[in-house]
Amino acid sequence: MKIQIDGWKSGLTFSSAHFLPDYSNCSRLHGHTYGISVVIEGEMTEGIIVDFRIVKEKIREIISKIDHKVIISTEGKLEIKKGEEIEIKYKNKRYVFPPEDCALLPIFSSSAENLATYILKEFLKSIELKNISKIEIGVDEGYGQGAWAKWEK
């Protein structure tokens, strides 16, 4: 059995700024409104696989930490200095942000692919998996354009 949540229709959205070093126009600081979709497969117990409300609550907890922030990847090519300010250097660019305006994530870059993987990993930490066999998380950078990450038992 499978359940599915459309993030755009269910309000699982957030807005953030980011940049992708070495990717043409994407290397400039820019923003998106993202939609998070979820597909879960598994065996039904007591008539359901998992409560939709719980899934949406857990996703909202994850995305609330990056909503309206600058997403900064800590595992990639950026030189990052943390202190009273977050200073980021890469090649000939330098950005300075207040720490409270940043979400430093342990990902290589802030691409939709890496954000989907990050959100999936965080979701897996927060949900009981007893009867779940597969989870897919989709991250759209605007409606209809995104990336999916998948976990299977």
Per-residue pLDDT tens digits for 97-120 = 999 999 999 999 999 999 999 999
Cα angle 33, 35, 148 (rounded to 5 degrees) comes to 125
Output the pLDDT for position 87: 98
Cα angle 71, 73, 79 (rounded to 5 degrees) comes to 115
| % of the chain at pLDDT higher than 70 | 100
The catalytic residue positions are 26, 68, 141
Query: In the structure, what pLDDT confidence band is assigned to residue 21 with cuts at 50, 70 and 90?
Result: confident
- Its pTM stands at 0.95
Report, as an integer, the average pLDDT of 19-25. Answer: 84
Output the pLDDT for position 26: 84
Domain borders along the chain are: 2-68+108-152
CATH topology of domain 2-68+108-152: Tetrahydropterin Synthase; Chain A (3.30.479)
Per-residue pLDDT tens digits for 42-97 = 999 999 999 999 999 999 999 999 999 999 999 999 999 999 999 999 999 999 99
The answer for residues whose C-beta is within 8 angstroms of residue 69's C-beta and 6 or more apart is: 16, 17, 101, 102, 103
Token pair 């300010």 in the structure block, residue: 85
pLDDT above 80 for 133: yes
pLDDT above 80 for 23: no
